[in-house]
Amino acid sequence: MRKNALKALLKSGGAAVGSWISVGHPVIGEVMGLAGFDWLLLDMEHGILGLEAVQTLVQAIQLTPATPLVRVPWNEPVIVKQVLETGAMGLLFPQVNSAEEAMAAVRSASFPPRGIRGIGSGRGTGYGAWFDEYLQRAGEELLIGVQIEHVTALQNVRDILAVDGIDFVFIGANDLSASMGLLGQPKHPRVLEAIQQVLAAARECGVAVGLNASDPDDAELRIAEGFKFIEIGQNKKLLSKIRRELCGRIRRNMPPEGGS
C-alpha cells in the first residue's frame, strides 16, 4: 500500500508547494509532477475533468515525486467514493461553511464506523492486491482538506478546523472576497485580515493552512508567515501567462531588411 509522503510532511510541520491541474491529459500530470512540486491537485470543481481523466492523471502523477490530490465538485458521497477508488491520496472539499459540513466531508471519505464510504476493490486497493491493509489504513494515509471561501465559514472557522479528521484548510480568497461584497478584490485589507484570522485559527487547531501565491517571492513570504500548503502556477493560467508574454514581445510591424 502506498505511503502518503505529503501527509507525513505536513504532519511534521513542513511546507509543501503544489499546483492545480484542470485539463485531463496524463502528459500534463507527468510534466508538472517532474517539475518539483510536492503535490498536484486535480480540479473537478472548476476544471474539465471527469472520473476517467482523474484516474489517468493520478496514475501519471504517481510515477513522479508529487502526491496526487483531487478537489471534488461537492461533498457528494458517491463522487467521493469513486474518486478515492482511483488511488487519489487526498481530497479537498469546496465551500465548507460549518462544522457539520466538515464532519460530513470526513464521513464521506471514511469507512465505517467513522464514516459511510462504501467498500470497493478499485485502484486504491491495488485492485485487491493490498485490500485488507487498505481497509485498515486508508484513513491514516488519506489527506482531507476543506476550503474556507465564504464569510459564513469565516465566522465558524475554529469549529470547522477543530473537526477530527481535517488535515488542512485552503483559503479561497476570490470567493471569500466576493462573499464579503468585494468581488474581484482578493487583496482588499478586509480580505487580508480574514486570511490572517484563518491562519490564527489553523495554528490553534494544529491544521496546515494554505492559499495561492502569485510568484516564488510571494510563496516564500507566505511560508515565513506560517502557511504550509502553497499553490502556485495553475496549469491553464501558467500556460496563458507564458504564451501572452511571448507573443507580447514580438514586434509584428518590423520594417523590411534594408528598407527605410
Which run of H or of E encompasses 68?
strand 67-71
Closest CA relative to residue 203, chosen from 157, 144, 140: 157
How far is it, in rounded angstroms, from Cα 156 to Cα 84?
Answer: 28
Rounded alpha-carbon distances, angstroms, from residue 191 to 89, 140, 145, 202, 221: 31, 34, 21, 17, 17
Question: Distance of alpha carbon 110 from its chain centroid, rounded?
Answer: 19
CA-atom Rg of the chain in angstroms:
20
Helices (H), 70-150: 77-84, 99-109, 131-141
Residue in 25, 46, 150, 188 annotated catalytic = 46
Task: Clarify whether 188 is annotated catalytic.
Answer: no
Q: Which residues are catalytic?
A: 46
